[in-house]
Structure 1
């Protein structure tokens, strides 16, 4: 059986999915901050309801459980990322590495729009609580297949050297990012998106030099290859709990 175009964690047409956009976004943004500040167990649904401007009873009418609320929040952020990243300019890029860089830069913009999104996403990528661990881990890793099939349709694969698997290169960039974040978490360091972006640009240049045919290693095309708008504070995550 082939993979679906979209993988879902929860029913889109349940009570939460039928909410007016403003109410749904208020709950989702309150959840992003609360689950970003705290691990799953320590996140308070009282705090989420209060920040969203609703009662706890109404919150649990829309989302039957804390687990369901968390899954809805994760899908909300994923949908927002797609909305921000896959704009008109995205679909005009046919170079694999420039597409990866453009997507990374757009994700940085999203992290600035939702200050606790980075912390939430890191916690989601390394789930620990039994209520969400298996479900979220399986969804996250299967999502890479869906993303590769769905968003790289316009890439010119002819730039890759014979014998180089573009999907393997895609996975290598994910593994490098994962390893960098894991190291920061292991040493209780700060995950700063500007530092990560500079590292990501280096990894792209290294892999491009290895993966592309010599005649395709000219000037990089696409968007600006700089890390703009460096900030501190909420753009990094203190990884100690």
Structure 2
């Protein structure tokens, strides 16, 4: 569907993407203006819709582009050295902190999309997010040493609790910032997430951290 856009030279593609990311990040799906996007990108609206057909397809493309860029960058930084599930999540948390600085425009777009209530955009994002989370989880679990967990613990349930805590804290922080009209302090979120993960490690791991002598 996006073949014509993909054939563009990188500088023009980047100009269009950045203009669209900025507009949707500022205004959300419903209020974003394609007139503003084409004005900033230096193209006509006819050309924009030639590449993406309509506003919804542009938004979907941007969401896939943003998530894929961050996922590739994130899991590209994930080393296979640690077999510790919580350590691996903490490693990803630190990598996210670096990525906020590297891709601020993508994070602002995802932040807005994450809280957007437009039904026409929401259903697609939820479906894509579920697929990407499954893909990410498979990478997360590769080579994990389950013996680190305390004996008698339901390990899949424990891992789900860890994941829910990590995701739930981020969702709460995003929602609170939106309600207060404040900027999201990603560095604070990542620091506090690590503290919650360390506490869960003490609760769910063996006293020696599962390290075998």
Q: TM-score, normalised by structure 1?
A: 0.75
In structure 2, C-alpha distance between the alignment counterparts of 1:114 and 1:47, rounded to whole Å: 22
Kindly report which structure 2 residues correspond to 1:59-208, keeping only aligned pairs within 5 A, or say none.
Answer: 59-87=48-76, 90-161=79-150, 162-165=153-156, 166-208=159-201
In structure 1, C-alpha distance between the alignment counterparts of 2:40 and 2:97, rounded to whole Å: 25
Confirm or deny: 8 A CA contact 2:28 2:113 kept in the other structure. Answer: no
Extract unaligned runs of 5+ from structure 2.
Answer: none
In structure 2, C-alpha distance between the alignment counterparts of 1:144 and 1:101, rounded to whole Å: 17
In structure 2, C-alpha distance between the alignment counterparts of 1:84 and 1:44, rounded to whole Å: 29
- Structure with greater Cα Rg: 2
Confirm or deny: 8 A CA contact 2:88 2:140 kept in the other structure. Answer: no
Report the number of matched residues.
207
Alignment RMSD (CA, Å): 2.3
Confirm or deny: 8 A CA contact 2:15 2:41 kept in the other structure. Answer: yes
In structure 1, C-alpha distance between the alignment counterparts of 2:164 and 2:132, rounded to whole Å: 12
The 3 A distance-change label for structure 1 pair 163 and 187 is same
1:192, distance to aligned residue in structure 2 (A) = 0.7
- Which structure has the highest helix share of the two? 2
In structure 2, C-alpha distance between the alignment counterparts of 1:187 and 1:78, rounded to whole Å: 26
1:197, distance to aligned residue in structure 2 (A) = 1.4
Confirm or deny: 8 A CA contact 1:85 1:107 kept in the other structure. Answer: yes
